[in-house]
Amino acid sequence: MQAIAFYALYPLLWVLSKLPFFVVYRISDFFYFILWYIVGYRKEVIKNNIRTAFPTYTEQQVQRTAKDSTKHFCDIFIEMIKSMGMSKKSMRKRFTCSNPELVNAFAKAEKPIIAMFGHQGSYEWTMVLDEVLDYHVYAIYKPLKNKYFDALIRKIRKKFGSSMVAMKQATAVMSKKVQTEAALFALVADQSPKASRAQFFTNFFDQPSAVFKGAEKIAREFDCAVVFLKISKVKRGYYSTEFELITADGSATDEWYITDQFFELLETQIRKQPQYYLWSHKRWKTTLDNARRAVELSPSIRQ
């Protein structure tokens, strides 16, 4: 069934990737209309997350942000498909970085580095940065259940030369690679663990939020530099990025410093463009009350 679904849809995806952007975005608008007005895709989850993050918002502001976020979700999905047929030159024009030299300075020193970013802006187009960085990039990602579509996604994301590493293998691969080469590990670091795996909680939008600490663990153990990648949406189909240093020496940081700094920087960024964050995932489904492990709280949580 997986093969049938893939080969039935692939020709459509290929055609879509060759269409001009003004047509592609009309298709995105159509998908948005279906998702928001017909299907109601995670509408209440999105609005409840926004209410939690922005308690002073009026219902009109919540509704507007939720609709814009869903529209943006459709855009980044369609942009991912569109990237199949885009040239490297076109992608570099649409996804720019203002300060790759900050990261490349660590490459010259042959120091491994971890780049952390969130589900903000176009996290799907971060592969473009491989072209301007003097590192071999290992991109941590969550595999799709359909192995054929997963292979396609990996092919798209490897367009600029990065290696793909499944989330479940991330810690093991990073621990091994960091000892043998000066590489860059790129990961979307705002994933929320399930209640059965939740152990660590930090402050995010004034809420105790379950988080993973794998990036911090690797950085502190193997003396990695750590940067935050800020992704801003300039306009439809155009994004600007900037690296911000969290630490040049992970082994010299205190417990929780890297994780807390990442979420603080991400929250600041989201507050500037809340409509471009992926609010559809259940960010606060796991709580201190339903976590099944003994929890460890960040000092940033008011106790």
Asked whether residue 218 is assigned to any structural domain, the reply reads yes
What's the domain range around 146? 88-297
Instruction: For the chain, 303 residues long, give each residue's pLDDT as a single digit of tens.
Output: 777 877 788 888 899 999 999 999 999 999 999 999 999 999 999 999 999 999 999 999 999 999 999 999 999 999 999 999 999 899 999 999 999 999 999 999 999 999 999 999 998 899 899 889 999 999 888 888 888 888 888 888 778 888 888 888 888 888 888 888 889 999 999 999 988 889 999 999 999 999 999 999 999 999 999 999 999 999 999 999 999 999 999 999 999 999 999 999 999 999 999 999 999 998 999 999 998 888 999 999 975
Look up tokens 């300039």; give the residue.
234
In a domain, 190, yes or no: yes
The answer as to whether 14 is a domain residue is: no
CA distance 32 to 65: 14
DSSP assignment string, 31-86: HHHIIIIII-TTHHHHHHHHHHH-TT--HHHHHHHHHHHHHHHHHHHHHHHHGGG-
Round to whole Å and give the CA distance between 112 and 103. Answer: 10
Q: How far is CA 126 from CA 82, 129, 245, 265, in A?
A: 14, 6, 17, 18
In a domain, 182, yes or no: yes
Query: What is the rounded CA–CA span in Å between residue 155 and residue 84?
Result: 9
pTM for the whole thing? 0.93
**How many folded domains does the chain comprise?**
1
Instruction: Dihedral sign for Cα 21, 27, 32, 37, please.
Output: positive
Provide the strand spans (E) within the chain: 95-97, 113-117, 137-141, 163-166, 184-188, 200-204, 207-211, 225-235, 238-247, 296-297
| CATH code of the domain covering residue 223 | 3.40.1130
On whether residue 250 sits in a domain, the answer given is yes
Report whether 79 contacts 90 (CB < 8 A). Answer: no
Please give the torsion angle defined by the CA atoms of residues 176, 249, 126 and 154, in that order, rounded to the nearest 10 degrees: 10
Cβ atoms of 231 and 88 within 8 Å: the answer is no
